[in-house]
Amino acid sequence: MSQLDLSELQSTEFPVPDELQGNLAITSISKLYNWSRRSSMWPLLFGLACCAIEMIGTAASRFDLSRFGMEVMRGSPRQSDLMIISGTVTKKMVVPIVRLYNQMPEPKYVMAMGACASGGGPFKEGYNVVSGIDKYLPVDVYVPGCPPTPQALLYGLIALQKKIDGQSLANMDDVPWYGVGPAEPTPIPVLGPDIIDPRQMDLIRRQAQMAVQGKQFAVGELPALPEKKAEPKKVEAKATAAPEVAADMDPVKAERMKKREEALARKRAREAAAEKGE
Amino acid sequence: MYGQGIAKGLWITFKHLVNTYVDDIRYAGRKYVSQDNFQVRQGPKSQGAYTVQYPDEKIAVPERFRFVPFRVDSDYDDPERPGQDWCTSCGICAKVCPPQCIWIVRGQDPNTGRPVPQPEAFFIDIDICMNCGYCAEFCPFDAIKMDHDYELASYDRTSRHIYDKPKLSKELRYWKTIAPTRAVEEMEARGGWDHKDVQKEKAKAEKAAAAQKAAPAAPVQTNGGAASPAAPAAEAPAADDAEKIKAERLAKREAALARKRARDAEENGGA
Amino acid sequence: MAIAVPQTTELDISQTIDWLKQKYPDAVHDDTRQGFGGVVVDKSMLVEVAQAIRDDLGFDYLSSATAVDYLGISDHMEMVYHAYRTTGGPALVFKAQTDREKAEIPSLVDVWLGADFQEREAYDLYGIQFSGHPNLKRILLWDGFNGYPMRKDWQEAYFEQEHKPFDSRWPGGWVHRAEEKNVYGKNVRYPDDIDLARLSDTSEATLYSGLGLGVDVQELESDGLQTDRLVVNLGPHHPSTHGVFRMIVSLNGETIETLEPVMGYLHRNHEKIGERNSFLHNIPFTDRLDYLSSMGNNFGYVLAVEQLLAQGARYQPPTYRAEVIRVLMAELTRIVNHLWSLGFLLNDLGAFFTPMLYANNEREKILDFFEATAGSRLMCNYMRFGGVFADLPERIHSVANLVNDKVRDYNTMEYLAQMITERLPRFLEEYGRLLVGNEILRERTINVGVLPHDLAIALSTCGPLLRGSGVAYDVRRADPYSIYPELDFDIPVGVNGDIYDRFMVRFQEIHESLRILKQLLPRLEQTKGEEVVTKVGHTPRVPVGEAYGRVENPKGELGFYVVSEGDEKGPQNPWRYHVRAPSFINLTALGPMCRGYKVADVVTVLGSIDIVLGETDR
Ligand code: SF4
Ligand code: SF4
Ligand code: SF4
């Protein structure tokens, strides 16, 4: 993290996230924070299909996930940090998956293991198959292969750890969960005549209206998909963290938020000045 | 007596625990020096559990191992056809691929519009590929093979999971490295390290030459060793324009290497 | 029941058919289509004829019941039943036909309880109404799904072309992703008259209301002890359900009153895709059915297609060595699977991880052999029509292509011999000492989840579940294939039909598999050098007809019903490709087995069935 002035950090006016109130040595806290996050990543214990067998094989003694602090597979989403989508996601199953995802506490990560979870895999054309979990959830790491061997999976997990290592507490994009206000839960799909993503309701409605007139939107002339905007986790979280969304935020938090903005503005100004000086 | 079975079981678990360390002690220190530690402890004679310390040591995969396919090119410093594409775009792999994840654009002669035996573009969507190995099994020209590189995890699939021709192409030398025995077997079936069509041409040329003198035996090079560049397969045809040919080859090689460098740079840039 | 010919239960198939035709001259006719066999039964008489088939003729075991849609050929739908005698022998195939519109066929649940789930599946995917079925609702898809997807005129959202290979792949194959061509960017398509205002997810409500019980907690008196009656939902995300399987249990106190399995969470449309694939394309797809024993799945499928191929010209059956290798792989697979299932059964019992990890250690060693031979640890894709993919390698040896790769190199035959004659027997002996005498295991399993043997047959259960109930029915003996007739092995059976018996049957089966493997080793040595790679190319001409190939997979009888309608030049893909999945049909017995036991036993009973979801839901 950054060149934030230490004295500023110590000042009471600097906005410290709730969770870190009282921990004022933020200087290399990012490092410590990343280290602890990546070394105790507890996966959610659930397997979907064939890839799950390799996932269990990875957890077993020959490859041993516990070398990475990941052996504690938790049965409850509320105790886990990492969701390994290990196999084909079907339309019937994506509903519970999104629900489970919403129940996981931040910080949470999603890994798409295998061709099926990444993009539908060999079963992509099937009528009950979701072609890639990233259509519903933000995915951090994709591990190709059908199935990925245990070593390939470990490589993916290390890639995820690297990703975490590159994050910084100072950057709200990296740690959106310290943003103000509750994070928006991912809307849970509905099983209608086919699976319905609530984020696409508007589009479906318009399509249906067109269908009454015997027309259809062609793929090219799509009205902007609302889900496209919300797809990457970070962008979404940023939106919640932005002050203008938080109109009904409680005053203390709003106050803090304002201060943080000011601090950041000061920092930027200082940086700009420093650059000029050089 | 009640509890006997449980006690027995506990004794066995204890023995397992000890066994693991027995091997550890027996091979202590040798772990980083030689391979035989690994050979025994991963084999049928091992005792106890032995964990592969993955990023530090990796289990080498067997020759037939299949992951995502790759396409074979001649070596980039091949004296005759540097970096030449072995694929003739016959389309068989695209037909036998069960989930239909291979896309091939057949090359066309820009002048005549007739198909040429070179793919213009070649794609594999690795988000669909089921690693079944059919493409490699049924390709009549040994032009597509199953790769051993499984370390493919990425942060973004939309831009990185459709493999195109440059990304899929690897040198013949690479195939010789990862599957030495099979590469040799295939070479023997073809009759030489070159592409099947080249072999045919050569055989024809040799026949013609045989009219004048005894044909040299087909250059069979059984050395499947790693980095050995394919030996110059045929003697230089005629002495008088040897210089010219040499210059041409050099130019070709340079061009191929430049292409490769550009490709690498692109890869790294994209990474 | 006037005709009482003695020993009707011993007639062979053609005599049986004659007997049936004689008895029901109006209702039973030969199936005269080219390449087809068995009889067509008039649907109004179906139940009566079926009863005669079961009682008079002794075909007490309904193996498979599946629907076929002959749109464009004869424009009707058809249910195909394969019935067997548990004493052994070939199948009696009978069919019932119905119109595509208003498809309706009487249910056979009253005759064979095992028809229950299979008829529900046919209803779900083909829309055939089974009159008289007690619980006819969707099983793999959800209530409210639009249409009946397996019908030939139903198309998916990503539908591209009727048959593979697709024309867009070559020669002008500019790549695209299927979602790029879909308005929603997803694998969805909605009916034109979709009414979003009234849209609600009805599947859950139907599920619970169908159970005939409220979700509310009520207080009841039973034996003077106050217990609550409540409904508990287990799954689909539940650590002990072996995948995405769901059960809805109604309890009285801790005692189970009813149990309703809910599946379809891994329904990957295997059969629909399989009918678009060519015959060859399907082999790697079968790997993904029972992904713990892919070799066995390959075996069943190639057997079915080879039956068809054998009727055509220029087909060479596999060589002796190829057969030996196939059996070698099938038996190794059985060991792999049983090791896994024993380990996980113990996991379900609460013996967390130790037995599972020990078993997995041995399993990894066999997987190494698979990897060196077939190229992949799980998805072996090893068998081909008329042979196998490649001979066993000379050496199991790996090649380093990265700096820190660790190389191994063993002689294949030595490796196998060491595994089969030393390591696995030693391990089994130790594993037996670890588990068999364990008092906790015995108390949790003996007399729990009892399945009496007549019920086991009626429910069409198979594999260790059936044999645990004392029925010595094993396809390798009852309807032998490959080189099993010349091999010497026994069929372990249980006595009580409880969990412990199933556990022991699996345990013994590993021993028997090792016995078979020991007989195979000298055969492998003798046949060294024989060709095993098939001459059948990548687009075999499969003659018209139907075939049902079945093998004794580790989980039970795995059957493939394949119908070929291909003409000489047309697309070479199966018209119908149906998988008789042992895990799926074994689940019919889950409800009856759990009734009256405690809720803690549910996971154990499920573990003792040994299901795998890839096969259950397909
Ligand atoms: S990627 Fe392959 S192995 Fe993994 S779940 Fe999909 S089909 Fe199975
Ligand atoms: S089968 Fe081989 S030669 Fe033919 S298109 Fe495929 S890779 Fe090229
Ligand atoms: S490995 Fe199989 S699925 Fe993958 S590209 Fe080759 S043929 Fe297609």
Residue B105 and residue B135 in one domain: yes
C607: pLDDT strictly greater than 80: yes
The pLDDT assigned to C399 comes to 80
Q: Is residue B1 part of a domain?
A: yes
Per residue in C184-232, pLDDT (tens digit) is 888 888 887 777 666 666 667 767 765 655 444 445 455 556 666 778 8
Query: C579: pLDDT confidence band, cut at 50, 70 and 90?
Result: very high
Q: What is the CATH number of the domain that holds B171?
A: 3.30.70.3270
C568: pLDDT strictly greater than 80: no
If one compares C395 and A277, the residue with the highest pLDDT of the two is C395
Q: Is residue B137 part of a domain?
A: yes
The pLDDT assigned to B236 comes to 40
pLDDT average, residue stretch C64-73 = 87
Of the listed ranges A66-75, B62-71, C493-502, C508-517, the one predicted with least confidence: A66-75
**Whose alpha carbon is nearest atom 4 of ligand 2?**
B90
- State which of A135, A160, A188 marks the end of a domain: A188
The pLDDT assigned to A244 comes to 39
The pLDDT assigned to A257 comes to 66
Residue B73 and residue B50 in one domain: no
Query: B268: pLDDT confidence band, cut at 50, 70 and 90?
Result: low
If one compares A174 and A160, the residue with the highest pLDDT of the two is A160
Long-range pairs of A203-211 with CB within 8 A, sequence gap ≥ 24: A203/C183, A203/C184, A204/C184, A204/C190, A204/C194, A204/C196, A205/C196, A207/C183, A207/C190, A208/C190, A208/C192, A208/C193, A208/C194, A208/C195, A208/C196, A211/C192, A211/C193
- Residue C234 contacts A, CB cutoff 8 Å: no
pLDDT average, residue stretch C495-508 = 89
Residues of chain C with CATH 3.30.460.80: 8-131
Per residue in B137-189, pLDDT (tens digit) is 888 888 899 988 888 888 888 888 888 888 888 888 888 888 888 888 888 88
- How many angstroms does the Cα of residue B71 sit away from the middle of ligand 2? 9
If one compares C203 and B239, the residue with the highest pLDDT of the two is C203
Separation of first and last alpha carbons in chain C:
41
Q: C191: which 2 tokens?
A: 């009916």
Q: Is residue B214 part of a domain?
A: no
Q: Are C233 and C241 in contact (CB under 8 A)?
A: no
B29: pLDDT strictly greater than 80: no
Residue A13 and residue A78 in one domain: yes
% of chain C beyond a pLDDT of 90: 9
Query: A21: pLDDT confidence band, cut at 50, 70 and 90?
Result: low
The pLDDT assigned to B30 comes to 63
Residue A263 and residue A177 in one domain: no
Min Cα distance B129 → chain A (Å) is 6
Per residue in C353-404, pLDDT (tens digit) is 888 888 888 898 899 899 989 888 888 899 988 888 888 888 888 887 766 6
Q: Is residue A136 part of a domain?
A: yes
Of the listed ranges B76-85, C97-106, C420-429, the one predicted with least confidence: B76-85
Per residue in C227-284, pLDDT (tens digit) is 667 788 887 887 666 778 888 888 887 888 888 888 888 899 889 999 888 888 899 9
- The answer for residues whose C-beta is within 8 angstroms of residue C55's C-beta and 6 or more apart is none
- The answer for residues whose C-beta is within 8 angstroms of residue B87's C-beta and 6 or more apart is B71, B72, B118, B119, B122, B141, B143, B144
Of the listed ranges A47-61, B214-228, C6-20, the one predicted with least confidence: B214-228
**Whose alpha carbon is nearest atom 3 of ligand 2?**
B87
A248: pLDDT strictly greater than 50: no
Q: Is residue B240 part of a domain?
A: no
- State which of B145, B170, B190 marks the end of a domain: B190
Ligand at shortest distance from the CA of B195: 2
Per residue in C12-27, pLDDT (tens digit) is 888 888 888 888 888 8
Answer whether B99 contacts ligand 3 (Cβ < 6 A).
yes
The pLDDT assigned to A33 comes to 82
Query: A251: pLDDT confidence band, cut at 50, 70 and 90?
Result: low
Mean pLDDT over all residues of chain C? 84
The pLDDT assigned to A4 comes to 45
**Whose alpha carbon is nearest atom 5 of ligand 1?**
A87
Per residue in A63-121, pLDDT (tens digit) is 888 888 887 888 888 888 889 998 899 988 898 899 889 888 888 889 999 899 988 88
Query: C43: pLDDT confidence band, cut at 50, 70 and 90?
Result: confident
Q: What is the CATH number of the domain that holds A140?
A: 3.40.50.12280
A12: pLDDT strictly greater than 60: no
Q: Is residue A236 part of a domain?
A: yes
- State which of A188, A212, A244 marks the end of a domain: A188
Cβ contact C158–A54 (<8 Å) = no
Whether the CA torsion C227, C231, C232, C234 is positive or negative: it is: positive
User: Can you name the CATH fold of C8-131?
Assistant: Beta Polymerase; domain 2 (3.30.460)
A238: pLDDT strictly greater than 70: no
pLDDT average, residue stretch C525-539 = 82
Q: Is residue A211 part of a domain?
A: no
Q: Which residues, numbered 180 to 209 in chain C, qualify as contacts with chain A under a Cβ-Cβ cut-off of 8 Å? A: 180-196, 199-201, 203
Query: C328: pLDDT confidence band, cut at 50, 70 and 90?
Result: very high
C148: pLDDT strictly greater than 80: yes
Residue A157, domain extent:
1-188
The pLDDT assigned to C601 comes to 87
The total number of structural domains that make up chain B: 2
> Of ligand 1's atoms, which has the minimum distance to the CA of residue A147?
3
% of chain C beyond a pLDDT of 70: 92
- How many angstroms does the Cα of residue B103 sit away from the middle of ligand 2? 11
Residue B5 and residue B81 in one domain: no
| Strongest mean pLDDT among A190-194, A216-220, C363-367 | C363-367
The pLDDT assigned to B264 comes to 67
- Residue C159 contacts A, CB cutoff 8 Å: yes
- State which of B158, B190, B222 marks the end of a domain: B190
Q: Is residue B228 part of a domain?
A: no
Q: Is residue B269 part of a domain?
A: no
Cβ contact C192–A208 (<8 Å) = yes
**Whose alpha carbon is nearest atom 2 of ligand 3?**
B132
- The full 3-state SS of chain B, as one line of letters, equals CCCHHHHHHHHHHHHHHHHHHHHHHHCCCHHHCCCHHHHHHCCCCCCCCCCCCCCCCEECCECCCCCCEEEEECCCCCCCCCCCECCCCCCHHHHHCCCCCEEEEEEECCCCCCEEEEEEEEEEECCCCCCCCHHHHHCCCCCEEECCCCCCCECCHHHHCEECHHHHEEEHHHHHHHCHHHHHHHHHHHCCCCCHHHHHHHHHHHHHHHCCCCCCCCCCCCCCCCCCCCCCCCCCCCCCCHHHHHHHHHHHHHHHHHHHHHHHHHHHHHC
Q: Is residue A244 part of a domain?
A: yes
Strand, helix or coil for residue C182: coil
Residue B84 and residue B173 in one domain: yes
Q: Is residue B171 part of a domain?
A: yes
Residue B73 and residue B178 in one domain: yes
Whether domain C270-617 has CATH 3.40.50.300: no
Q: Are A118 and A144 in contact (CB under 8 A)?
A: yes
> Of ligand 1's atoms, which has the minimum distance to the CA of residue A49?
5
If one compares C460 and C208, the residue with the highest pLDDT of the two is C460
Residue B50 and residue B120 in one domain: no
In chain A, which residue's Cα lies nearest the Cα of B127?
Answer: A115
Residue A60 and residue A121 in one domain: yes
Query: C561: pLDDT confidence band, cut at 50, 70 and 90?
Result: very high
Give me the residue from A118, A121, A156 closest to B157, CB to CB. Answer: A118
Q: Are B158 and A154 in contact (CB under 8 A)?
A: no
Could you write out the DSSP letters of every residue in C530-546? Answer: ---B----SS--PPSEE
> What's the pTM value of the predicted model, to 2 decimals?
0.83
Q: Is residue A193 part of a domain?
A: no
Residue A106 and residue A237 in one domain: no
A237: pLDDT strictly greater than 50: no
The total number of structural domains that make up chain A: 2
- Residue B87 contacts C, CB cutoff 8 Å: no
Cβ contact C371–B61 (<8 Å) = yes
Query: C301: pLDDT confidence band, cut at 50, 70 and 90?
Result: very high
Q: Is residue A47 part of a domain?
A: yes
- Residue A224 contacts C, CB cutoff 8 Å: no
B271: pLDDT strictly greater than 60: no
Q: Is residue A202 part of a domain?
A: no
Residue B169 and residue B93 in one domain: yes
pLDDT average, residue stretch B70-80 = 82
- State which of B138, B165, B190 marks the end of a domain: B190
Q: Is residue A87 part of a domain?
A: yes
The pLDDT assigned to C172 comes to 81
If one compares A154 and B215, the residue with the highest pLDDT of the two is A154
Residue A129 and residue A256 in one domain: no
What is the value of ipTM here, to two decimals? 0.87
The pLDDT assigned to A275 comes to 61
If one compares B209 and C524, the residue with the highest pLDDT of the two is C524
Residues of chain C with CATH 1.10.645.10: 270-617
Residue B173, domain extent:
69-190
The pLDDT assigned to B33 comes to 59
In chain B, which residue's Cα lies nearest the Cα of C278?
Answer: B98
Best CA proximity match to C280, nearest among C466, C55, C542, C522? C542
Query: If residue C69 lies in a helix (H) or strand (E), which one and from where to where?
Result: strand C61-69
- Best residue among C288, C380, C613 to mutate for probing ligand 1's pocket (most ligand atoms within 8 Å of CB) is C288
